[in-house]
């Protein structure tokens, strides 16, 4: 038997559900056995990605003992755009982060 954990995190709560599955079980079988899709009906596997220990995997991926199956929520903001906004805000506040250094800056 395989000991698997299925997890799903929301901003205000986290679900971590242990399941026991036979050898050769797939990621989809772990999701079904955990009951997480009934507990959180907003999960849409057509839109949301799943993986094992932070690495994206298809639903037919065979699992190994002690794997952690994760359901990922869609990103609200593009990480590159968010970083660019932070840099621009820091620059407006007077920081020289991200600017090219010149001899003038040392005065």
SS in 3 state form for 18-43? EEEECCCCEHHHHHHHHCHHHHCCCC
The DSSP bridge partners found for residue 18 are 5
The C-alpha angle with vertex 13 and arms to 10 and 14, in degrees rounded to 5, equals: 80
What residue segments make up the domains of the chain, in order of their start? 2-72
- pLDDT band per the 50, 70, 90 thresholds, residue 51: very high
> Is residue 12 helix, strand or coil?
coil
Residue 107, pLDDT above cutoff 80: no
Residue 63, pLDDT above cutoff 80: yes
Please provide the CATH number assigned to the domain covering 2-72.
Answer: 3.10.20.30
Please state the pTM of the whole predicted model: 0.69
State how far the Cα of 36 lies from the Cα of 19, in Å rounded to an integer.
11
């Amino acid at each position: 038997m395989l000991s698997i954990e299925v997890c799903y995190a929301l901003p205000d709560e986290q679900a971590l559900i242990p399941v026991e599955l036979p050898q050769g079980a797939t990621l989809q079988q772990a999701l079904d056995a955990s009951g997480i899709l009934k507990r959180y009906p907003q999960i849409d596997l057509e839109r949301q990605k799943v993986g094992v220990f932070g690495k994206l995997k298809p639903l037919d991926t065979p699992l190994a003992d002690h794997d952690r199956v994760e359901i990922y929520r869609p990103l609200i903001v593009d990480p590159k755009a968010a970083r660019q906004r932070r840099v621009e805000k820091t620059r407006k506040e007077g920081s020289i982060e991200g600017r090219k250094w010149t001899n003038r800056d040392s005065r």
